[in-house]
Chain A
Amino acid sequence: MKFAKNRKAINPELLNPEPVIGYNKTKGENLNSHRMLKLSARFILGGVFVYAGFDKILHPSAFAEVVYNYKILPDGLINLTAIVLPCLELVLGTFLIIHFWMPVTVVMSNILLITFIGALLFNMARGLDVSCGCFSATAVESSMNILTVLRDTSFLAIAVYLLYSCFFHRN
């Protein structure tokens, strides 16, 4: 039988391979824990964005006042920002939770958080004592301080982890 003669010897392990979950069992566990971490990160960050946007959608005038007090945007853009930004936060939060369009959602989340932290630091450097407007539109919310920056930085750390998972991590 010509066919049989030309066949190379087959490794018996290849005939009944063990199911592969990752490379080996330890790496499989690592992959599962990474997936759980990513799921938690998505829900935490998504929840934060939805919560942050919700109150501001309910009180647009008060949020416009907060945006004005930051003294960064020109007067003509204040109302537009007050109207659009909370909806953007709501959309981002929802997309994070339902795992939709993850690459762009994660990129936008990072950009938004970096912008917020930048604005906070800029105004703290200028000595401007205004309310943060991070989670509430009322102007008598806690004024921005280093704890506000640290809190937002922790959210940014979660967003950066999601960015890494999305673009660089090999599953």
Chain B
Amino acid sequence: MAIFRSIEKNKVKTDKVKYFQVAWQSFAMFALSILLAFAINQFRSDRLPLVGDWSIKTKLTAANGDRLEISFEEAEKLFMKKSALFLDARSMDDYLKGHILGARSLPWHDVDQRFIEVTEDISSDTLIITYCDGVSCEPSCNLALFLLDMGFNNVRVLLNGWAVWLKRRLPVEKGNTVS
């Protein structure tokens, strides 16, 4: 019995040592990763700041300082005058279920595959308004910045475009109506 008790004691001691080992080695591993990360970041040419500005305001500001966001009223006026081309940045499935009348589909996740096909007949001075769903509307922001990089000079973003368009009962259509 004494032998079994000492074996149990040793087992508990070994387990405690193991857990303590895991604990201090976890800290050491984190510390090593952080040191390595900061060292790599410090010596690289495209250094990332430790705290970045990720507000939507910053994201929607082009490199030359112009704001990309367009108000809903302005977008509606341009739609009525047919002075702007609307690009739907949502997925194809969402586009087929319903989109702004006359809008073309250019899903942000397929932009590499579909960019040329969708934009080959659009001149670089055409006013393009990208939209998607949601207040922050990431795909439309990303698509707008991408189009600016690709040489289109006049790109705007209609934040939460689809939801507000539906709410105001403005013209919509379904299916793939643009050949």
Contact = CB atoms under 8 A, between A and B. Distances in A.
Contact of B48 (A75, A79, A90, A91): A79
Chain B interface, >50% SS class? helix
B29 A108 contact: yes
A104 B49 contact: no
A140 B29 contact: no
A91 B36 contact: yes
Contacts, number: 82
Interface string A82-94: 1110111011100
A101 B18 CA distance: 11
A105 B49 CA distance: 29
Nearest to B93: A129
Interface stretch (B20-28, B123-131, B159-167): B20-28
B88 interface: no
Q: Classify chain A: how many residues form its interface, as a range.
A: 35 or more
Interface stretch (B3-11, B51-59, B97-105, B168-176): B51-59
Nearest to B51: A76
A61 B21 CA distance: 35
Nearest to B94: A129
B131 to A, nearest CB: 15
A107 B52 contact: no
Interface string A63-107: 010001101000110111011101110111001000001011101
Contacts of A143: 109
B138 A69 contact: yes
Contact of A91 (B21, B33, B46, B112): B33
Nearest to A106: B22
B29 A101 contact: yes
Interface in A33-79: 57, 60-61, 64, 68-69, 71, 75-76, 78-79
Interface residues of B, number: 34
Contacts of A136: none
Interface in A7-57: 57
A12 B108 CA distance: 80
A75 B52 contact: yes
5 contacts: A82-B48, A83-B48, A91-B33, A129-B91, A167-B18
Interface of A: 57, 60-61, 64, 68-69, 71, 75-76, 78-80, 82-84, 86-88, 90-92, 95, 101, 103-105, 107-108, 129-131, 139-140, 143, 167
Given A61-B46, A71-B136, A75-B53, 12 more contacts: A57-B40, A60-B48, A75-B52, A79-B48, A83-B41, A84-B33, A84-B37, A87-B33, A103-B22, A129-B139, A140-B109, A140-B111
**6 interchain residue pairs of minimum CB distance:** A104-B25, A87-B37, A88-B33, A75-B54, A79-B52, A84-B37
